[in-house]
């Protein structure tokens, strides 16, 4: 990893770290994420973001297994890489590769032209969330502050 490479910690903000979110479906959770991100980054259109996340899911689920999903997309008006972390109050169907319900999502939104950063961060995320102990620590968090700190300290 080079000095200029982005880290998961660098792209995650406390405002986009949500703990114990109730979710009834993949669509509802992606709508919620789009709304939260658009509120934090007004230059991004909520509907465009939602539509891009859904379009990516149609290509194949971003559920990587063991209750984890990494929804992601590239956006035209996005100026910098954004991450959002959510734990759900209960798992939801996500068409994951292991058919298990998803209860942890890390959403990655990158500028349209940021191909290498996009791939590098997806790789980092997949590696990080492949660590069962790390995921269990996230699931144990009682609130968003604790969840954010757990990621920052890892």
Catalytic (active-site) positions: 72
Q: What angle do CA 17, 19, 23 make, to 5 degrees?
A: 110
CB 71 within 8 A of CB 30: yes
Do the strands 63-65 and 102-111 form a parallel or antiparallel pair, or are they unpaired?
unpaired
Task: Please give the Cα distance from 141 to 148 (Å, whole number).
Answer: 9
Q: Dihedral (C-alpha) 22, 141, 85, 28: value to the nearest 10 degrees?
A: -10
Tokens of 139: 């699931």
Of 29, 49, 32, 31, nearest in space to 41 by CA: 49
In whole angstroms, what is the distance from residue 75 CA to residue 113 CA?
9
Of the candidates 21, 17, 40, which has an alpha carbon nearest to the alpha carbon of residue 148?
17
């Amino acid at each position: 990893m080079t000095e200029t490479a982005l880290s998961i910690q660098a792209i995650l903000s406390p405002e986009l770290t949500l703990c114990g979110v109730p979710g009834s479906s993949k669509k509802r959770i992606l709508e919620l994420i789009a709304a939260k991100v658009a509120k934090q980054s007004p230059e991004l259109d909520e509907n465009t973001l939602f539509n891009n996340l859904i379009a990516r899911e149609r290509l194949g689920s971003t559920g990587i297994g063991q209750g984890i999903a990494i929804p992601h997309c590239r956006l035209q008006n996005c100026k910098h890489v954004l991450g959002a972390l959510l734990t759900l109050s209960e798992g939801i169907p996500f068409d994951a590769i292991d058919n298990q319900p998803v209860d942890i999502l890390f959403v990655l939104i990158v500028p349209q032209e940021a191909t290498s950063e996009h791939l590098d961060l997806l790789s980092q995320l997949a590696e990080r969330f492949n660590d069962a102990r790390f995921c269990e620590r996230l699931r144990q968090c009682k609130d968003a502050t604790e969840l954010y700190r757990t990621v920052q300290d890892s």
